[in-house]
Amino acid sequence: MSVDTLLSYWKQLTGIGIIAVIAGLSACSTPKVFEPGDAAPANPRDVSSVQNAVPRTEAPSRYGNPDSYVVYGKRYHTRKSSQGYKEKGGASWYGTKFHGRRTSSGEPYDMYAMTAAHKTLPLPSYVEVTNLENGRKVIVRVNDRGPFHDGRIIDMSYAAAVKLGMLGKGTARVEVRAIDPRTHAAAPAPVKTATPAVTTQAAIPPQPVQATAAATQTVTTAVPVPASASPARIINAPVFLQVGAFASLINAERLRSDIAGQDIGAVRIVEADTENGKFFKVQVGPLADHGEAERIAQTLKPLGINAPRTVVD
C-alpha cells in the first residue's frame, strides 16, 4: 500500500473520529460559562406582568443531570434531589448573550422567563430566591448550569433579576430555598403585607364593590395631561404617574411591591370599571409636578417600565 493511500485512509478515519466526538458532545449538556458582553436588552420588555414559576412535578432532564461534570478544571457533582436544599450566597444574572441558546437541560434560554442556573441542583428544580438586601422574593425554575464564579450560588434570568431589584447592581446576596412541588401545590397562597408607607394610600379595603365607588370615580375621571397644557390650569390638581393597569388585582399588587422600594414615594392601586371590564391601576403619587413625574419615570426604566403616563385626579 502506497504512502498516499495510507495518508488518505488515515484522514478518513480521523474525520470519522471527529464526527463521532462532535455527535457525542451534542448529546450532552454544555454548562453555561461567563462570556464578555452580556447585558440587558437595549429595548427591554415590560416584565411587570411576568409571574413566578409555578412548581410542578417534572421528569428529570435527559441531558442536564450527569453524575458530575468539569468546568474550568473544577468538578461538580449533581445532586440526586433538591429536597432540603437551602443556601445563602451571591447571585448574578445573565441576559442577551445567552438569549435563545440551548440551556443545560436542552431548552432554549428565555431571559424573559422566570428561570435560573445552578451548579448542582437537579434539572429541573424549583427554588424560592430571597434578595437579602431588600427582602424581595421570587420563585424560579432551575433549568441551566452556572454561575461558575467564586462566591456566587445562582444565576438569575433577566426577568427574575428585575423582580429581585438586582438588575442595576448586577449582583445581590440571596437565600436560595428548594421547593417541593408536591407540598407547594397543597399549601395556601401567601398573603403579602404592604409596607406602612404604601398601606396608608395604596391598599384596597376588602369591602364590597359598592364601597369602592369613590375610588372608581376618581380613576374614571383621571385624564392624560397634554404636553402643551398650561401649568396654571393644573396647579391645584393632584398629579400621579400611572405605571400599569391589570385585570388581576394580584398582578397589580405584585407590581406595586416591585416598585415600592425604588425611592419614588407612595404607590396606590385604584379600581376602575371600564367598557372592557374591571381594571386595577397602579399609580405613583401624588407628585409635586410633572418634573417629578418625569424623574420617577426615568427611575423605573431599568425595571422595564417604559411607557408610564401622567394623570390627574
Per-residue pLDDT tens digits of the chain, which is 313 residues long: 444 544 444 444 444 333 333 333 333 445 666 556 688 888 888 898 899 999 999 999 988 999 999 998 999 999 999 999 999 999 999 988 899 999 999 999 999 999 999 999 999 999 999 999 999 999 999 999 999 988 899 999 999 999 999 988 889 999 999 999 988 865 454 544 444 444 334 444 444 433 333 333 333 333 343 444 434 344 456 888 898 888 888 888 888 888 877 778 888 998 888 777 788 888 988 888 888 888 888 888 777 787 788 888 7
In the structure, how many helices (H) and strands (E) does the chain have? 8, 13
Q: Is 160 helix (H, G, I), strand (E, B) or coil?
A: helix
Tell me the CATH number of domain 68-184, given options 1.10.3720.10, 3.40.50.720, 2.40.10.10, 2.40.40.10. Answer: 2.40.40.10
Give the span between the Cα atoms of 276 and 21, in whole angstroms.
58
Give the span between the Cα atoms of 62 and 26, in whole angstroms.
13
Give the span between the Cα atoms of 51 and 45, in whole angstroms.
14
Q: What burial class does residue 18 get, using C-beta atoms within 10 Å of its C-beta: 0-12 exposed, 13-18 middle, 19+ buried? A: exposed
In the chain, which segments carry CATH 3.30.70.1070?
A: 196-312
In the chain, which segments carry CATH 2.40.40.10?
A: 68-184
* Cα–chain center distance at 135: 15
- Third-level CATH fold of 196-312: Alpha-Beta Plaits (3.30.70)
Give the span between the Cα atoms of 162 and 262, in whole angstroms.
12
Task: Provide the grid cell at 10.
Answer: 488515515
Task: Please identify which residue in the block is written with the cell numbers 433577566.
Answer: 158
Task: Please identify which residue in the block is written with the cell numbers 395631561.
Answer: 225
